[in-house]
Chain A
Amino acid sequence: MVLEVKNITKSFGGITALKNISFSIQQGEIYGLIGPNGAGKTTMFNCITNLVEPTSGEIFFNGEKITGLKPYKITEKGICRTYQNIRLFPKLTALQNVMVGGHSRVNSGVFRSVLRVKSQKKEEQRLKEKAEELLALVGLEQWKDQFAENLAYGQQRRLEIARALASNPTLLLLDEPAAGMNETETESLFELIKTIQSMGVTVLIIEHDMSLVMRLCDRITVLNFGEKLAEGKPEEIQNNEAVIEAYLGKEEEESIA
């Protein structure tokens, strides 16, 4: 088990964003987290990366409890994420953005960096090569010296994925990677996520594009108003009464009368 979420509850003042949510993800899976707007999906991501601390409950990563760890420690352990509203470093180049992603995998301090000792130069070279490979993987190699803010929207989304991959994650969290993409872009995103899976990275994805989710995911959890509505394989989810009701609304016979 890569990730085990156990009875997570998160309240913001009087509002409960997540109520007693549990699910677990197996090695190599692509796991979907879906639900209507405001269901608590991003809050779940924030709890896993500890950007917000859950009110109660525990999260285990590779059997180790990660609740309460600082976000940068969680990245060191091997979880990295992208954001729903793209959060790149706008005035760094594409290459530098990806190199920042690799921060926790290198360890030169102030003096080694300033004196440029041999080990630091090698380390920097390796980091750069890895970043270039990742840019090639997401199809941005010719844009490596562009500032992130000058890239097109779809490119920025892919750059965020490359940046997250630079930290060598075992678990990659993708928050609506297809948002705002056209069909062609979504198709190449599908290929990209499949490639990432084949590299041995487990993926947890939040997505509203249902056809993408259903084709991509091995298993899915559905959230609605902070509660877990259903869990299962894509075909089970598609035929689940409660899920259909949450998305399309209940047929109200009385209102006709």
Chain B
Amino acid sequence: MLGEVLNPYYLQVLCFILINIMLALSVYVPLSSGQLSLGSAGFMGIGAYTSALLAIHFELPLYITILVGALLAGVVGIIVGIPSLRLTGVYLAIATLGFGEVIRVFFINWENVTKGSVGLTGIPQLGRSLLNVAKAAGLEPGAFGLRNNQFVYLALAILLLIIVSVLLWFVIRQKNSRIGRAFASIQMDEKAAESMGINITYYKVLAFAQGAFIAGLAGALFAHTIGFISPADFSYHRAVEILIFTVFGGSELVIGSVFGAVILTLLPELLRSVSDYRYILYGIMLVILMAVRPQGILDVHLLLRMRGKRMTRGTG
């Protein structure tokens, strides 16, 4: 039954989609307060290395190492966020991109701990530890008609789905509150927001640190999904890729980030048949999109129109 449908490859792609949604959110949150941050790859690296090193050397349970990785990324986010307050727009983007490179080079050079550019291998896998937990609780994958490796990826995908759902719930609720209104007003007119009684320093650092925390969490989960990491995983290519998720999907909406991450993770996989040309096609598509819909695929107006149609259909 289940065992025939579930292909570990599809499940792995699903895991990467979910991790990429988190990364897209890590760009969305600072952007919703007007801060274009390209630091997500760097924060992701901090989360990934912290959690992986703690798990390898101290054999701590993964839920602790992942949380510590995310929190450390968040704290670094506060430290980087405060001096970055003076920067806006492209200047902030360049500064945060520079920060990401500093982090990457740091991981390359701290060789006796991080193994330099070779990277870390043998990172405990989250799926495996979920399998062990299940077995300890008396649940055998065989009982569901699953092989062990199917169970590993299925359990991991479900856990990631839960984490993404919680993050989305958090981000959407926050957006529709006093905090979200403060972010939006800062994004639209910082000076006017400040003279409406909003402490812009606090809210900008808050948004930046939340983005860093989410990126760190995604990075830690990435490390324990894939099992090996190297500084190349957190290069500026990654930073730009994450930014594209959000911009492609539509940066005005939370759902835009989700949409962008899903489509752009699936696309290279779907284009595998044209192998060598797939990134050319990917690039062409981005160029066309930015020319036709610079605000991204989803925006407020499209959403309102879709809702409006549904309403007229409902009443008529």
A and B interact: yes
A interface with B by C-beta (< 8 Å): 49, 51, 70-72, 74-76, 80-81, 83, 87-92, 96, 99-101, 103-106, 108-110, 113-114, 116, 120, 124, 127, 163-164, 167
A110 touches B189 (CB 8 A): no
Within 8 A of A (CB), among B181-197: 181-182, 184-185, 188-189, 191-197
Q: How many positions in chain B have a CB within 8 Å of any CB in the partner chain? A: 27
Residues on the A chain within 8 Å of B195, using CB: 49, 51, 71-72, 74-75, 80-81
Query: How far, in Å, is A172 (CB) from chain B's closest CB?
Result: 12
- Give A44 to B192 CA distance when docked, in angstroms: 17
Within 8 A of A (CB), among B162-185: 169-170, 173-174, 177-182, 184-185
- Give A120 to B182 CA distance when docked, in angstroms: 16
A87 touches B197 (CB 8 A): no
- Give A74 to B195 CA distance when docked, in angstroms: 8
**Within 8 Å of chain A (Cβ to Cβ): is B206?**
yes
Q: Which 6 residue pairs spanning A and B have beta carbons closest together?
A: A104-B197, A75-B197, A113-B177, A87-B192, A89-B188, A71-B194
**A to B CB contacts below 8 Å, 5 in the list:** A83-B192, A89-B184, A89-B192, A99-B181, A164-B196
Q: Which of A99, A103, A109, A167 has the most CB of B within 10 A?
A: A103
Residues on the B chain within 8 Å of A106, using CB: 178
Residues on the A chain within 8 Å of B196, using CB: 72, 75, 80, 100-101, 103-104, 163-164, 167
Residues on the B chain within 8 Å of A127, using CB: 178
Residues on the B chain within 8 Å of A114, using CB: 169-170, 173-174, 177
- Taking A110-B174, A114-B170 as given, write out 10 further A-B residue pairs in contact, using a Cβ cutoff of 8 Å, ordered by the A residue number: A74-B195, A88-B192, A89-B185, A92-B181, A92-B184, A96-B184, A101-B197, A103-B196, A104-B198, A106-B178
**Within 8 Å of chain A (Cβ to Cβ): is B149?**
no
A91 touches B300 (CB 8 A): yes
Residues on the B chain within 8 Å of A104, using CB: 196-198
- Give A109 to B178 CA distance when docked, in angstroms: 8
